[in-house]
């Protein structure tokens, strides 16, 4: 088991390294975007720790819209205090910790927060290669996302709460 905590600004270098290891340069969020997410999404930006080491993270806004929109990667929307939909902009795990349940533990922790805030769903976009991970975690694929992020085909996945 890993410890799941809220992110801090001190975690930014580790988060950026994990993001770069998990996504192509075109897909990965910028340092400025992640600094903004830490400030704006403090309650829905979680990190997994092995001792003091950050080994994974999940982040996204809780908003009225049911799906991630490309502009959310550039301009971080603020969280609704209650209700709406919990979105995931990014989830990534340090390559040395993959296959140990870190990603699933992060999704479970975010779901617990979403349920406590009476969110309707958790949703995210994913490349086809990662869809099986999300379906194992209770998500349903609901079609191709309206996204041109990094010039790739993304799929919407939703978990009803």
pLDDT tens for 2-16 read 999 999 999 999 999
How confident is the prediction for the chain on average, in pLDDT?
Answer: 97
Residues in the chain with pLDDT values less than 70: none
Q: What is the pLDDT of residue 1?
A: 76
- Per CATH, the architecture of 3-123 is what? 3-Layer(aba) Sandwich (3.40)
HEC secondary structure over the chain: CCEEEECCHHHHHHHHHHHHHHCCCCCCCCHHHHHHHHHHCCCCEEEEEECCEEEEEEECCEECCCCCCHHHHCCCCCCCCCCCEEEECEEEECHHHCCCCHHHHHHHHHHHHHHHCCCCEEEEEECHHHHHHHHHCCCEEEEECCCCHHHCCCEEEEEEC
């Amino acid at each position: 088991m890993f410890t799941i905590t809220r992110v801090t600004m001190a975690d930014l270098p580790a988060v950026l390294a994990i993001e770069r290891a998990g996504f192509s340069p075109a897909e990965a969020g910028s340092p400025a975007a992640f600094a903004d997410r830490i400030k704006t999404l403090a309650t829905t930006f979680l990190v997994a720790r092995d001792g003091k080491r950050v080994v994974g993270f999940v982040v996204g806004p809780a908003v009225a819209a049911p799906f991630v929109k490309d502009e959310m990667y550039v301009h971080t929307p603020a969280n609704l205090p209650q209700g709406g939909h919990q979105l995931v902009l990014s989830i990534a795990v340090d390559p040395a910790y993959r296959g140990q349940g870190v990603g699933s533990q992060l999704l479970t922790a975010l779901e617990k927060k979403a349920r406590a805030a009476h969110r309707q769903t958790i949703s995210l976009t994913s490349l086809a290669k990662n869809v099986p991970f999300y379906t194992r975690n209770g998500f349903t694929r609901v079609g191709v996302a309206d996204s041109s992020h990094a010039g790739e085909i993304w799929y919407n996945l939703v978990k009803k709460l």
